[in-house]
Amino acid sequence: MNLHEYQAKALLAEYGIPVPSGRPAFSVDEALEAADELGGDTWVVKAQIHAGGRGKAGGVKKVVGREALERAAAGLLGTRLVTDQTGPAGQPVKRLLVELPSVVLNELYLACLVDRALERIVFIASSAGGMDIETIAAKHPEKILRAVADPVAGLQAYQCREIGFALGLKDKQIAAISRLMLSLYHLFCARDLSLVEINPLAVISDGELIALDAKIQVDDNALFRQKSLEELHDASQDDPKEHKAHEIGLSYVALDGNIGCMVNGAGLAMATMDLIKLHGGAPANFLDVGGGTTADKVAEAFKLILSDTNVKAILVNIFGGIVRCDLIAEGIIKAVKEVGITIPVVVRLEGTNVDKGRALLKGSGLKITAADSLTNAAKLVVASAK
């Protein structure tokens, strides 16, 4: 689960990490009120969306005077901001962050994340702040610094000092980055985060360090014990289909193809999409209905797939292990009748009672094609979609 920048900064501040003075705003009037509270006559107005690259896309504006602030807020709110990370549809701008500007002497990069290969929490730092970390890693790999936290002892102060010296910091800045990194590690563990990215971590005019921008991701699996963070979720930033899937307990990711996929098991779903691509098709989604799927869940899955108007055919690939194939077939037939599907549906069943399941599909009288192998199913559904 992603947090907006203003939410991330509030969380950082809660753990003693310096951030600029700022206020969130949900309307033009609130933006003006935020400016009054902050004082001064110059502010930075930032569109709040769950994507990076806002500055390049015009989502971050420095303004002087209330009239300029009003124009900037009105020009951002209610629009869809398209960045390199949003795709062509963009993300809706319904919230703003109004901040006081900072005089920046130097920009650094700092992130804390889970390295799945190492099975450790890792800090990544770079002297090339303000840039995409992928660009830095590709063009200047020598500028990528790492510190791996011990799972028992945790992050150590000497590791923080080493990072500080490698970044070119001096004197009190070494102590400052040590405090910041140790606080960040405590935040990361205490609030079940999966990513904290501060880009840039700025050295400002008085030599202090401040988180000029911040991105935080929370581990979805831990939200049951992080209720205060769960309440911060902004559903307007989600794909509507993905949001609906989450509500009904399905794992769904929207893609840009025209073949709807319904599979039980994430690995099988990935293999199914690979085969569709191999035979010249394009999957419209990743959809895992789970091992113990039911007729009701299958019906909901069909409705979800059909909500995508690009879908021209559907491939159902179910391995009957926990649930028998004949029961799955009955569920598919019931769901197809209930939803009223008019596009081709190709079904591949394998597992317990597979012959009974295929017989039920064949005798249903519906527009369902039973395939005897995954390869055959992929070829059939690609041909149907064309």
- Phi/psi for 28 (5° steps) reads -65, -40
Q: Which residues contact 368 (CB under 8 A, 6 or more apart)?
A: 332, 333, 336, 345, 346, 347, 361
The one catalytic residue in 5, 99, 109, 300 is: 109
Number of other CB atoms surrounding residue 250 within 10 Å: 20
Tokens of 99: 């901040």
Please say whether the beta carbons of 183 and 175 come within 8 A.
Answer: no
Q: Please say if 109 is a catalytic residue.
A: yes
Q: What's the DSSP call for residue 226?
A: -
First to last CA, the chain: 36
- Phi/psi for 367 (5° steps) reads -80, 65
Please say whether the beta carbons of 239 and 245 come within 8 A.
Answer: no
Q: Please say if 119 is a catalytic residue.
A: no
The one catalytic residue in 5, 99, 197, 300 is: 197
Q: Which residues contact 168 (CB under 8 A, 6 or more apart)?
A: 127
Residue 201, CA distances (Å) to 144, 161, 165 in order: 15, 16, 15
Q: What's the DSSP call for residue 207?
A: S
Catalytic residues: 109, 197
